[in-house]
Structure 1
């Protein structure tokens, strides 16, 4: 599957990415992680703190799949509102999951502090605004639920939004617990730190076949075989068929990065911005003063004109911020996964013992990867995590 098309921005920010060898001999390990993107490198770094013989393999290079097309918005709010999750799973599970997302951002912050190189990680604030009057009431209900269950948030009416931003909206939820990151740099730095701590990392190493038996898990590569006690598939959207994840939907999303902006006018605290419409637009600023805006999600099988989509995103940006004069420097499209219930698929395969998946489908993929790494770490070490039933495959 071709995960992205076009001219990606994040790889242009790294002039000399680290490289790792290809596997050239047969090896044994306790845990094999397949996939060297954000999910795989977070998982590797979490396991590196424990006495676990861990191997990570990537069929191409670290961070060059979906990670390099990720926009790097880190939010505890989800594609599915808290009120919707309460309706589906009940108050206890829904609130607990939202708390896990909130904790995951703090965990990402913690691991970022361990890294030796820059990742452009920054704690950020976020505006979630009602796209129209019809959705304003539901947004207000969402704010009430957040406050009721202990989340810190402010409600902005249309006058407050107009005073802080260059655009108008009926209302919005403003939160201050979010973050932003260069996902490509972050994944590379996580790999470097995991390697330093003893995780064996191999690039340009593709699994050609696998065999799951009572004696272990066996994987064939071009120049060496791997025997593992447990395996974690962190290969993202290419794993859907094998993982048997009901309710997963693959689409295509579009993003542009502008040329650097001289001054951010009418954009309060350079906050993250997203909206209630589905599909929704999402915006952020970068360290070098560019604007990333994405959205226009559409069917994966549909033919798309990337240039046309880019111009539509630029038009949306100029509509929101008429005092800015942005121009497109990078434009790309990427495969994007979502689920019917808005939650990721993280856990053990229902048919294969010791075969785990970390599929952070949704607009909160990096946050899902962090909480997923904690869930899978506990499943591997202790056989249990309180959220294992919420994110399980086959639900």
Structure 2
């Protein structure tokens, strides 16, 4: 098989309960020849497809499911530039210069996602939000001070709030918090469909359900074969399969994690001031945001993935734990779950994705290991892959390239 098969999510994600304009897709009934084949019709595949069609390439997107029905609807869509690994910690792992470069690229990616989405006219409930990073068991107030110093050294605007300021401004009782600016919240399902529709308007095709079972790379082209025997001949092939990792991709330093999330009933009167995105310097960390209709989306309690059955069986208990933590942080909220779901996501030792040509697979590329910055890193992937395929290059391609040692 070309990629792993996983049951990516279970439960009732809030986004599937909302109407969304979808994208047209067709059955693949004959052999085709294109410039680029993209395997995966989630948000990563959508952003890559739009970027490559914008560059003038002929593109087709393939998925074994219907488009945007894998991991994307399970996203809570806190679109932040802050990487899971704090900057001063990442600097110890990969060096200060590369750590700063990764953080700056993540910030640039959020800005470009905002700008590109607006230019394309994609309606996806996108809204600018500042974010609060609360002191926790990984970083206390002193740790947040070190992190603030590291971010300021890298050129980021940031504010450190003490306990009194945090309580007066946000009604949160923690030792300290870092405040960052101009992140985004969005409806991930609408976002992905919007980018797929944009790609289609530029000439791309979307085929589903199509299961690609073999990929053979050659010096000047790639041949992919489906379970039904069709042949896809292309100049380049991109795996954007999320957490169903291609068998040929190096997985060193990457893990699959289970996470749980829920959405409360609408309660605009109970929401915290400024409705910023909130997450913790803890392991596991709690993360939360609001929605346009005044719900609270909150998730966390991450664990190393074992199997789908064990992950799914924990949904009721994990929901109770998350609601209890929400109520502890904000005693006045209605801590009930109108929607609850669980799913898998990829993580890496550095918090960074791997993006680039697959070692030993000429003209084949993959994106892997998104952590808590999934959609942010999807935009990085769209830019890096475009630069590699178009031959224009990317200044940070080496930072995200697959490591074989």
TM (normalized to structure 1)? 0.96
Counterpart contact for 2:265–2:334, Cα < 8 Å: no
Could you tell me which residue of structure 2 aligns to residue 171 of structure 1?
A: 176
Residue among 295, 318, 330 paired with 1:309: 318
The residue matched to 2:245 in structure 1 has which SS?
helix
**What is the 5 A alignment of 1:1-395?**
1-14=6-19, 17-132=22-137, 135-221=140-226, 222=228, 224-239=230-245, 241-265=247-271, 267-301=272-306, 303=310, 304-382=313-391, 384-394=393-403
The residue matched to 2:180 in structure 1 has which SS?
strand
Mark the CA change 1:237 to 1:172 in structure 2 (over 3 Å): closer, same or farther.
Answer: same
Counterpart contact for 1:245–1:393, Cα < 8 Å: no
Alpha-carbon distance in structure 2 between the residues aligned to 1:133 and 1:217: 46
The number of residue pairs the alignment matches comes to 394
Mark the CA change 1:341 to 1:16 in structure 2 (over 3 Å): closer, same or farther.
Answer: closer
In the TM superposition, what is the alpha-carbon distance from 1:100 to its structure 2 partner?
A: 0.7
Alpha-carbon distance in structure 1 between the residues aligned to 2:174 and 2:388: 44
In the TM superposition, what is the alpha-carbon distance from 1:383 to its structure 2 partner?
A: 6.0
Q: Alpha carbon RMSD of aligned pairs, Å?
A: 1.6
Alpha-carbon distance in structure 2 between the residues aligned to 1:120 and 1:157: 32
Mark the CA change 1:194 to 1:133 in structure 2 (over 3 Å): closer, same or farther.
Answer: closer
In the TM superposition, what is the alpha-carbon distance from 1:166 to its structure 2 partner?
A: 2.6
Mark the CA change 1:13 to 1:115 in structure 2 (over 3 Å): closer, same or farther.
Answer: farther
Alpha-carbon distance in structure 2 between the residues aligned to 1:231 and 1:215: 12
The CA deviation string for residues 218-238 of structure 1, in whole angstroms up to 9 with x for no partner, is 111226311011111000111
The residue matched to 1:363 in structure 2 has which SS?
helix
The residue matched to 1:255 in structure 2 has which SS?
strand
TM (normalized to structure 2)? 0.93
In the TM superposition, what is the alpha-carbon distance from 1:325 to its structure 2 partner?
A: 1.7
Mark the CA change 1:115 to 1:384 in structure 2 (over 3 Å): closer, same or farther.
Answer: closer
The CA deviation string for residues 11-52 of structure 1, in whole angstroms up to 9 with x for no partner, is 111255333112111111111111010110000111121121
Structure 1 portions without partners, runs of 5+: none
Alpha-carbon distance in structure 1 between the residues aligned to 2:329 and 2:224: 51
Alpha-carbon distance in structure 2 between the residues aligned to 1:79 and 1:358: 17
